[in-house]
Structure 1
Amino acid sequence: MNNQASTSAKWRCATRITYGPKDCKGGSLEESEIQNAVLRALNQTFAGKNNVKEVLKKNVLDIDKNDNSKQMSLVDEKINKLQMKQVSSVQDNKSYDQIVEQLEELRNNKSKLQTEKSIVDANKRRIVDLIKFIDASSFRVEEYEDKLYNRN
C-alpha cells in the first residue's frame, strides 16, 4: 500500500473537511475533472453561441430600459433652481440653511445615481465585449488554461 501523499490537487466538500469523510456523501474530485467540466461547459456555450448572443443582446436592451439619465437631469434641474434660490437668499440677507441641506441631499442623490450609472455602463460594456468575442470566435477549447478562467 502506498501511503505517500498525493501531489495532485483534489477538491473536497466543506462537510468532509469540517466533519470528516463519514459525513460527506460525495467523494473527492481531481482538479482535472473540474477543468474538464469547465471545458465542456465552455464548448457547449460556443456550440450554441447564437442563443447566447440573443440572451446577451436582450440583457443589453434591459439595461437600456433602466437608464437613469432622466433622473439625473431632474436632480440637476433641482440643484440649479436651489442654487439660484440660495444666491437670492444671500443677496436678501435671508437664512439659507434649509436650502443648503436640500442641496447636500440632492448632491448625495446625484452621486448615487452616477455610481449606479457607472456600474450599469461597465456591465453593458462587458456584455457588448462578450458579444464581440463570441462573434469573432469559432473555435473549440481543447486544453484548460487558468488565465482563460481566472480574473486575477
Structure 2
Amino acid sequence: MKKDLLKVLLPIAFVVVALAFYFVLLGSRGIDLIRSGGVAAVGLGIGVLLLPFIGVWIVYASLHAGWQHQQLARRIHEEGLELDVTDLPRRPSGRIDRDAADALFETVKREWEADPDNWRNSYRLARAYDYAGDRGRARDTMRRAVALERAEREGKN
C-alpha cells in the first residue's frame, strides 16, 4: 500500500516543485518587464505576473479535486459499490469496448435516475461517463457527487 502511494505522490510532488520553480521564474520575468518602464513592457509585465497566480490556483484546484475524488473512491470501495469492469471486453489499447461501456452506462444511469440525490449513484454515474469516454459529463457529475457527499457528511454532524 505504501509503495503504491509513493508511485502516485512522487510524480505529483515532482510536478508541483517544477511548477513552483517555473512560477517563480515567470514572476521574476514579469517584475523585470515592469521595471523596464515602457508602457507596453509594463502591460506585458502585469500580464506575465498574473500567470503564476493563475497557475497556483489551477494546481490547488486540481489537487483539491483529486483529493476529494480519492476520498469518494475510498468510501465507495469500503462500501463495495465500485463498478465491476473486470469482465468487460477491451480494445487493444486497454480501454473498455465502446458498446460494453455504453451498456454499463445505461445500467448505472437507471440506478442514478431512481435516486439522483445519492452521492454514491452520482459517483458511479461519473465513473460510467468516464468509461464511456464522456470526460466533460464525468467531471460535472463527479463535482455533483462531491457536493452531495459533503452535504450528507455535514448533515450527520
**Does the alignment reach a TM-score above 0.5?**
no
TM-score, normalised via structure 1 length: 0.37
The higher radius of gyration belongs to 1
Does 1 or 2 have the higher relative contact order (CA < 8 Å, sep 6+)?
1
Q: Which has the higher helix share?
A: 2
TM-score, normalised via structure 2 length: 0.36
